[in-house]
Structure 1
Amino acid sequence: MILTLAVSGYRSLRDIVLPLDQITLVTGANGSGKSSLYRSIRLLAEVAQGQAIASLAAEGGLNSTLWAGPEAFSRAMKRGEAPVQGTVRKNVVSLKLGFADEDYGYAIDLGLPADAGRSLFSMDPEIKAEALWAGEALSRSNEIAGRNGPTARVLNAQGQRIPVFQNLARFDSMMTHAADPKDGLELLVMRERMRAWRFYDHLRTDREAPARFPRIGTRTPVLSADGSDLAAALQTVQEIGDERELADAIDDAFPGASVEVAVNDGYFELLMQQKGLLRPLKSSELSDGTLRYLLLTAALLSPRPAPLIVLNEPETSLHPALLEPLGRLVAKAAEKTQVIVVSHAAELVEALASQRGCLRYELRKELGETVVDGVETPKWNWPKR
């Protein structure tokens, strides 16, 4: 389980360190920074896929994602006695992301490229520093692997930090290039954990949504990010997952309803039998809310539980009557996996907040910065460049 999440310099997240629990609920008004927090976790996961640089470039480059306010606020600025204005910068420009779980911690520091303006790739940030450590917070004594500039070092069996790369490209992470069963086993373990994180925020339910059409079906223990393999995923839950749990989740939301999968020449099509109807409805006939709930059910009841599932505004298209059942579904999934839910639906917030092991954060903006009140900040150190 992830115990601590840290973000510095990403959009409105100037400097935030949060403890996480088995269920972490993030809520707040529009514009409070919920989406930025979600994107920062997703960006962190993309480091393990070697996609973080491309993702930042797609957002307009590092400059467009950096904290846009001053490096620090004076007391007079906070009291409104002085205008918010920049001062002479003391620290380098950077975007930092990190987390610590029960075994290891990892952090990455991204900065401006040295050849900014002299290359057509000048929107690509550089990886300035990385660190992997054992324990709660990074220190000199517990660092397992570290990267500064082009050099990556790992701790060997004799307790020596040996260089495994001395010319690592500035856009390549040690997570993808130095992870090795022999000299970088801990890096390999952490990389695979991060690759197994799942994110669901674009589960399409429109008329042309992939989930509404028959598709070639194969065993699908993990629902795809766009939900296109819904029928195969639900059939997989029925065959190698908890069929009773699936039936209960559907009945909880739609009393008397059930789902089945029809197969025609290898194409799987989802059918839903609802109380009072003489025939089952095809997925193409389901309402947006019903289809979304089934998609979330397939994601959360996966027979291959993820170490982390992150749901961004899962309440979209759902009738308020479905939010309490969704809260119970999330709680059931959290028995096997850690869940982060980003939501502003009051009914879902209340349904989840009452669950055991749920930690709730209410985000707000103060002078453009995302602020979380009442948080006891965990110990945290960033790697040095």
Structure 2
Amino acid sequence: MITTIAVKGFRSLRDLVVPLGRVTLVTGANGVGKSSLYRSLELLSGTANGALVPSLARQGGLASVLWAGPEVISKAMRDGEVPVQGKAKRLEPVSLGLGFASDELGYLIDIGLPTPRRTMFTNDPEIKREVVFSGPLMRPASTLARRRRSVVEVRHHRWQQVMEGLPEQFSMLNELADPEQYPELLAVRRQVRGWRFYDAFRTDPAAPARQSQVKTWTPVMAADGSDLVPALQTILESAYAENLGSAVAAAFPGGHVYVEENGTRLDLRFEQHGLLRPLTAEDLSDGTLRFLLLAAALLSPRPPGLLVLNEPETSLHPSMLPALCRMVVEASRRSQVVVVSHSTALAAGLREALGDELEHHELVKDLGETLVAGRGVFDRPLWDWGSR
């Protein structure tokens, strides 16, 4: 289980370190940085498949997503005794840092501005440093693999250089995966690649989830829900069919979902008490379709190591939230779950269901910086970014 997530220099997350539990709930007002925390986790997951740097470039380059406030926010600034301003000369290099740690392995990546050179691709940031370490905290003695610019070294009794000339756009997690030579790198790569993120499901008339879909076994639903129907049928043929049926019946009294074959394709059918015919995916309300998408994500027969939901309550009637809470609790028995939410009703339901097992962080903003309410620097988990 991941115990710590750390982000430095991403939008309003100047230097945020938060602990994670089996279920972690992140709440807060609009604009406090909840979406930034969610996006930073997505970026971190992209290190293992080469998607991190292209994703940053599509957002306008590193300069567009970096923390825009002063490098250091002093107590005098917070107390209003002096104006909020930066220093004429930076103390440290411009850096975007992302990292996580568990009791067994941890990883951090340091991304910086590109080296000036003759190219039109000036928005592409560069990976300056990566570290894989054992245990919850990066220390020299716990470091297992390290990358500085284009050079990668691993520790086999002593430090050994294993690659030179690694392009700055590619992570060592993506390039080195030999199970015998680099088992720790492979372990981190597999862990990060297994994370799943579900956010902006489309529910408009042309949404992929409303279409007839190819008949193929689907234990993991795509992030956009484009294979919802085979994903639901896969659950119905698994040990979690009863869980799906119970969730649908709880959210829609008398409701029942099933799938029909149509040649090489599958079509969704939804029955509910009082309806004279089953509804198709095209007939479903936005809230009903979104609930089924969440059910397919949470009840997957192949549970992820980390499942992250961003505002799952969107478009759902309040009466559906207890069923959603139960699905989150059910998913937490097989996966680690992070829920980012605006809903006080969903938060209350998770607190009631999980009690002290729920790790709840309320985010607030102070001078443009995202902080965890009620926690100071000495209350957060230990974390060391190291240096270039």
TM interval, shorter chain, is over 0.9
1:94 and 2:95 correspond: yes
Segments ≥4 residues shifted beyond 3 Å: none
Cα deviation 1:277-317 (Å, max 9, x = unaligned): 12211111010000000010011000000001100111111
1:179 shift after superposition: 2.3
Distance in 2 between the 1:170 and 1:210 partners? Answer: 36
1:67 shift after superposition: 0.3
In 2, are the aligned partners of 1:164 and 1:178 still within 8 Å (CA)?
no
TM-score, scaled to structure 1: 0.97
Residue identity matched to 1:53? V
In 2, are the aligned partners of 1:111 and 1:127 still within 8 Å (CA)?
yes
- Look up the match of 2:116: 115
1:196 shift after superposition: 0.9
> What aligned pairs does 1:194-273 form with structure 2 within 5 A after superposition?
194-273=192-271
Residue identity matched to 1:107? L
- Look up the match of 1:382: 385
Distance in 2 between the 1:374 and 1:135 partners? Answer: 27
Distance in 1 between the 2:239 and 2:40 partners? Answer: 31
Say which SS state the counterpart of residue 69 (structure 1) adopts. coil
- Look up the match of 2:364: 364
- Look up the match of 1:45: 45
Residue identity matched to 1:99? F
1:89 shift after superposition: 1.5
Distance in 1 between the 2:174 and 2:35 partners? Answer: 26
Say which SS state the counterpart of residue 166 (structure 2) adopts. coil
Distance in 1 between the 2:276 and 2:169 partners? Answer: 59
Say which SS state the counterpart of residue 355 (structure 1) adopts. helix
Aligned residues: 382
- Look up the match of 1:140: 140
1:28 shift after superposition: 0.5
Deviates more, 1:245-254 or 1:290-299: 245-254
In 2, are the aligned partners of 1:25 and 1:353 still within 8 Å (CA)?
no
1:349 shift after superposition: 1.4
Cα deviation 1:58-85 (Å, max 9, x = unaligned): 1110001100000011222111122211
In 2, are the aligned partners of 1:353 and 1:359 still within 8 Å (CA)?
no
Residue identity matched to 2:183? L
1:246 shift after superposition: 1.0
Residue identity matched to 1:269? D
1:202 shift after superposition: 1.9
Deviates more, 1:296-305 or 1:165-174: 165-174
Residue identity matched to 2:385? W
In 2, are the aligned partners of 1:220 and 1:229 still within 8 Å (CA)?
yes
1:102 shift after superposition: 2.9
TM-score, scaled to structure 2: 0.96
1:240 shift after superposition: 2.2
1:161 shift after superposition: 1.7
1:316 and 2:321 correspond: no
The RMSD of aligned alpha carbons is: 1.1
1:283 and 2:281 correspond: yes
Distance in 2 between the 1:337 and 1:234 partners? Answer: 19
Residue identity matched to 2:97? K
Distance in 2 between the 1:119 and 1:314 partners? Answer: 42
Mark the runs of 5 or more structure 1 residues left unpaired by the alignment.
none
- Look up the match of 2:67: 67
Distance in 2 between the 1:104 and 1:76 partners? Answer: 38
- Look up the match of 1:336: 334
Distance in 2 between the 1:383 and 1:182 partners? Answer: 28
Residue identity matched to 1:74? S
Distance in 2 between the 1:212 and 1:26 partners? Answer: 30
